[in-house]
């Protein structure tokens, strides 16, 4: 336990005042600053940084002090207030408060027994309540239909138990706590692997999980030689059957192309870099995939803002080195002052003392240096910077090891066997994490991702519209005379500066956005950072909508050859606004075209139909579907009980357009595909009853009607549903970043 010490509680005179953007203030007020019982903010951003700084500095009381606690606290404060470094969100939220849980990443074991599975469900609830995210490997659970000796029955398999975890997470989220996120990993040699790969063909399932397949070296060798590999029952280690590696790999690729999931982790590569193999094997990661952890292990993360490490057009390595030292010191202290949600996590975390120091603002740094993100020079610089950070972090961890002692598992670790006379304080030091809300607070680009938008439109609370612009671009545009509101509007509508002749070619090249960069350049950047990162790198490889399955397959092979530890891809538009397939489009066209034009049927005086009650965020909706004498859908009416203004008019407009389509001969399926899964800021319900918007409610009502009429469940449109579209909190646009859905307008993150 941390000793009680005397430390200043008021912010010292002359302390730096953080320069916050309006967006950063909005995020802080909504998510981070302390509120009273009436939900009124009672803390300033300065107060928050000082609260965090003095709480973390108090960890010095456990050791022989080399720096007075109040002096160290002030150094921590200045580092955060300058946005040179920020710790992960739970530390900013909970340090110095009653909860006191400061870590973001956890992994829990799931053994092949009912007791273990439901104990893990309970532990997951406690972690999510404290603000953390959880990762699991379900690879130890026996496959579907396997024998259960105790009951002489059959196993329901890992996927059924994943649904239990998903439901528990949904219930916790509905209870109003900070949203929890999960990672589910299944080994590629598990007999249920094909079901796991395809489970998110229906994107209404497992919405609280990111999915990744644990890929082995044996499997990749089999893919390269187009041969078979073994599927093994985890219950007894027996080979169940042999299967084509190419077939399984192709299914992984196809599913990722369709929906962005599952991702892949190269599990043997992760274990080859496991610093404490005697303590156990790595089976899972945290929800975004960048932090491999042992069962019951946690890790606290933090990120250095590389945009602040540029001076006079060069990297300021002196400042960067000092920031690395202070950040490692900070993160090591967090381990001691942390209040862990479970005693097992407290024990295992302190045996290895892993920390995860990463970076943000990488793309902004490149822009300041006038280097295009996709250039060979940028990739080379990425490796140089991360090599420097990793080396400095190890040096400072050794310094702390001499002062405070090595991590307890050090003697049996890779470091202890290599050089037992040089104690290392932390088993790992570096991790590249996504920094969604942290980068909003710091006013910089996220993680090692490219800039997502140079300029975008923001609507503030009084419906005022304003264009926000990347600060590095704004500075360059003003300095070179091409800045204008008209230009920002044009960039916002296009999403890129490419092709805009009013911007000099040099700056069109420098200010690349995510979709201006080809997948190979993305992977080269990830590989450059991974080479010098102890843990892993969270990064999304962006594809254009017209990318092929082969493009995705090539990316996966490239990531493996370049020694990445995993890969997450996202094809633009693959979950939202899906285009109809050729077959569907052709069928629809054949129905509605006659004699070269559309034929609209006249309405008879009377029709028979059914009314469906749907619960939406706007109130109860009643959807009436009328049919003609041939049992063909003819028209749709809807009424929303509490809605008025735009909501009512939008619903009426949808009803009229659906009716027009039906009277012109279109089948219901294409209409369902276009409407289902559209999100708004006021979803209702959860699980199988979740309604994302009024448009989604209308689509679900049509689908229910079709199921009633046909007498079978309608799965034909499952692959085109989507769990997101608009931000559920502000209605803004959702981006896919670091393996997670994030909103850059308000700071919402699907992965907490």
- Cα Rg of the chain (Å, integer): 27
Beta bridge partners of 153: 148
Measure CA of the first residue to CA of the last residue in the chain; give whole Å. 28
Q: Is 564 known to be catalytic?
A: no
Q: Is 651 known to be catalytic?
A: no
514 DSSP assignment? G
Measured CA to CA, the distance from residue 365 to residue 315 in angstroms comes to 9
Q: How is residue 40 written in tokens?
A: 């009124």
Q: How is residue 575 written in tokens?
A: 């979950």
Beta bridge partners of 622: 613, 639
Q: Is 512 known to be catalytic?
A: no
HSE at residue 312, side-chain half, CA atoms within 13 A, is 2
Catalytic residue, candidates 23, 88, 274, 286: 286
Q: What secondary structure does DSSP assign to 323-365, as a single string?
A: HHHHHHHHHHHHHHH---SSHHHHHHHHHH--EEEEEE-HHHH
Are residues 206 and 158 in contact, defined by beta-carbon separation less than 8 angstroms?
A: no
Pure H helices in 95-192: 114-129, 157-174
Catalytic residue, candidates 288, 299, 740, 746: 288
**Beta strands 182-187 and 133-137, pairing class:** parallel
Catalytic residue, candidates 60, 290, 512, 750: 290
Beta bridge partners of 568: 540
SS3 609: strand
Measured CA to CA, the distance from residue 134 to residue 123 in angstroms comes to 10
Are residues 120 and 112 in contact, defined by beta-carbon separation less than 8 angstroms?
A: no
Measured CA to CA, the distance from residue 68 to residue 61 in angstroms comes to 9
Nearest CA to 575 out of 320, 243, 204 is that of 204
Calculate the CA dihedral of residues 710, 714, 720, 726 and round it to 10 degrees: 90
Beta strands in 429-527 (DSSP E): 455-459, 465-469
Orientation of helix 114-129 relative to helix 157-174, angle to 10°: 30
Are residues 7 and 54 in contact, defined by beta-carbon separation less than 8 angstroms?
A: yes
Catalytic (active-site) positions:
286, 288, 290
């Amino acid at each position: 336990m941390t000793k009680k010490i005397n430390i200043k509680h008021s912010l010292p005179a002359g302390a730096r005042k953080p320069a916050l953007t309006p967006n950063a203030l909005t995020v802080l007020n909504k998510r981070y600053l302390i509120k009273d019982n009436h939900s009124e903010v009672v803390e300033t951003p300065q107060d928050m940084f000082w609260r965090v700084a003095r709480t973390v500095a108090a960890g010095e009381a456990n050791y022989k002090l080399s720096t007075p606690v109040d002096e160290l606290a002030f150094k921590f404060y200045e580092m955060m207030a300058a946005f040179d470094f920020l710790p992960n969100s739970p530390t900013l939220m909970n340090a110095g408060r009653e909860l006191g849980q400061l870590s973001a990443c956890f992994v829990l074991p799931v053994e092949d027994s009912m007791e273990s599975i439901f104990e893990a469900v309970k532990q997951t609830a406690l972690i999510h309540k404290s603000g953390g995210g959880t990762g699991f490997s379900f690879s130890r659970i026996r496959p579907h239909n396997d024998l259960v000796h105790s009951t002489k029955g059959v196993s329901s398999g890992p996927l059924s138990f994943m649904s239990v975890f998903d439901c528990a997470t949904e219930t916790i989220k509905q209870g109003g706590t900070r949203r929890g996120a999960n990672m589910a990993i299944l080994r590629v040699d598990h007999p249920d692997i094909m079901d796991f790969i395809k489970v998110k063909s229906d994107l209404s399932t497992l919405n609280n999980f990111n999915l990744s397949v644990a890929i082995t070296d044996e499997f990749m060798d089999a893919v390269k030689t187009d041969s078979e590999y073994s599927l093994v029952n985890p219950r007894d280690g027996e080979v169940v059957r042999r299967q084509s590696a190419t077939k399984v790999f192709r299914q992984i690729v196809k599913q990722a192309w369709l929906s962005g999931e599952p991702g892949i982790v190269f599990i043997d590569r992760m274990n080859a870099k496991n610093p404490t193999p005697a303590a156990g094997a790595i089976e899972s990661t945290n929800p975004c995939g960048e932090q491999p952890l042992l069962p019951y292990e946690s890790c606290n993360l933090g990120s250095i803002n590389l945009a602040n490490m540029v001076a006079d057009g060069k990297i300021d390595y002196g400042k960067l080195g000092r920031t690395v030292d202070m950040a490692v010191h900070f993160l090591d202290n967090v381990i001691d002052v942390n209040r862990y949600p479970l005693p097992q996590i407290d024990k295992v975390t302190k045996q290895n003392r892993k920390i995860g120091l990463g970076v943000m603002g990488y793309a902004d740094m490149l822009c300041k240096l006038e280097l295009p993100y996709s250039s060979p020079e940028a990739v080379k610089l990425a490796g140089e910077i991360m090599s420097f950070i990793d080396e400095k972090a190890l040096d400072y961890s050794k310094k702390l090891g001499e002062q405070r002692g090595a991590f307890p598992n050090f003697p049996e670790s890779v470091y202890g066997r290599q050089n037992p006379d040089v104690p290392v304080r932390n088993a790992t030091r570096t991790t590249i994490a996504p920094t969604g809300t942290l980068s909003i607070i710091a006013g910089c680009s996220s993680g090692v991702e490219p800039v997502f938008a140079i300029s975008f439109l923001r609507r503030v609370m009084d419906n005022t519209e304003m264009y926000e612009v990347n600060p590095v671009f704004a500075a360059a545009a003003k300095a070179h005379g091409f800045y204008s509101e008209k230009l920002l509007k044009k960039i916002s509508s296009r999403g890129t500066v490419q092709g805009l002749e009013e911007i000099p070619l040099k700056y069109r090249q420098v200010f690349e956005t995510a979709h201006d960069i080809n997948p190979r350049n993305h992977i080269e950047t990830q590989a450059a950072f991974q080479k010098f990162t102890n843990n892993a790198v969270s990064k999304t490889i962006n594809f254009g909508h017209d990318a092929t399955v082969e493009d995705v397959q090539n990316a996966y092979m490239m990531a493996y050859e370049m020694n990445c530890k995993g890969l997450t891809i996202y094809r633009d538009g693959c979950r939202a606004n899906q285009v109809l397939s050729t077959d569907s489009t052709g069928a629809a066209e054949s129905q509605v075209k006659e004699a070269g034009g559309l034929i609209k049927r006249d309405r008879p005086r009377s029709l028979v139909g059914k009314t469906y009650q749907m619960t939406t965020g706007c109130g109860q909706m009643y959807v009436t579907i009328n049919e003609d004498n041939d049992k063909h859908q003819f028209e749709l009416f809807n009424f929303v009980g509490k809605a008025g203004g735009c909501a009512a008019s939008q619903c009426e407009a949808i009803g009229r357009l659906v009716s027009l389509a039906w009277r012109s001969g279109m089948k219901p399926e294409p209409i369902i595909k276009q409407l289902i899964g559209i999100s708004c800021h006021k979803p209702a319900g959860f699980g199988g009853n979740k309604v994302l918007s009024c448009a989604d409610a209308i689509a679900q009502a049509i689908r229910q009607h079709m199921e009633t009429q046909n007498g079978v469940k309608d799965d034909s449109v499952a692959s085109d549903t989507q769990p997101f579209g608009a931000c559920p909190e502000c209605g803004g646009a959702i981006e896919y970043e670091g393996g997670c859905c994030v909103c850059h307008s308000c700071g919402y993150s699907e992965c907490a």
